[in-house]
Amino acid sequence: MDSKRQGQTIDVVIGGEQLVLLPEKACWLPQHQALLLADLHLGKVNHFRKSGIAVPAAANDRNTEALIHLLRQWQPARCIFLGDLFHSHYNEEWEVMGQVSGHFAACQFELVLGNHDILSPVQYDRHRIRVHRESLQVGKLLLTHHPLEEHTGWYNLAGHLHPGLPLRGKARQSLTLPCFYFGPRGGLLPAFGAFTGLARIRPEPESRVFVVADGKVLDVSQPREYA
């Protein structure tokens, strides 16, 4: 694996493919003109609010605005979601996704199904979202929602876990930041959604880790003390 810094983003070669890691917690595959995102969980805020939990509705707007910003900036031919695009059963937030896919008609939207993607196939067809049930191969990468336990010969990129790296400062204070994680055979994308939470990871030897902080992607792969 090799990487090159470019301002707020980082270029990294993973499994023989070039990825541009973005501070919006997504990545760009320039050779395939493809934008990769994991775990948007659109509609999650509506789901909790319907259950009587007072979650700020602004999280919905942040998710949509961030997605639109990336689509305008990179103008992808493909936008691929690595599972959990929508959090639960149908609600009005799904129609917002339909407006986005309709506006960016030149982009093919694709979804590798996650455990929360339980909408009817009719709903995906309505909004021009091509569904892949278990995996999708793009170049030398095998894209899935759940990380694969067995090696397939392809480098596996997945979502699902919402990876976060715990860091500890000199004064013993600790902070967990969303991260891109790349092990020898597979990697994890951070959760794109604004209301998703983090799962603390402990990097394996020979892994690469890039945290998202202050609008930048930072390489923290060097040996350090983990919280």
Q: What is the DSSP letter of 202?
A: -
Do residues 188 and 147 make contact, with C-beta atoms less than 8 angstroms apart?
Answer: yes
| 45-59, 115-129, 177-191: least confident range | 45-59
The answer to whether domain 2-219 has CATH 1.10.3470 is: no
Q: How far apart are CA 214 and CA 227, in angstroms?
A: 20
pLDDT tens digits, 134-191: 999 999 999 999 999 888 899 999 999 999 999 876 666 778 999 999 999 999 999 9
Q: Is 134 buried (19+), middle (13-18) or exposed (0-12) by CB count in 10 A? A: exposed
pLDDT digits (tens, 9 = 90+) for 10-50: 999 999 999 999 999 999 999 999 999 999 988 754 444 45
Domain edges within the chain: 2-219
Would the pTM count as exceeding 0.75? yes
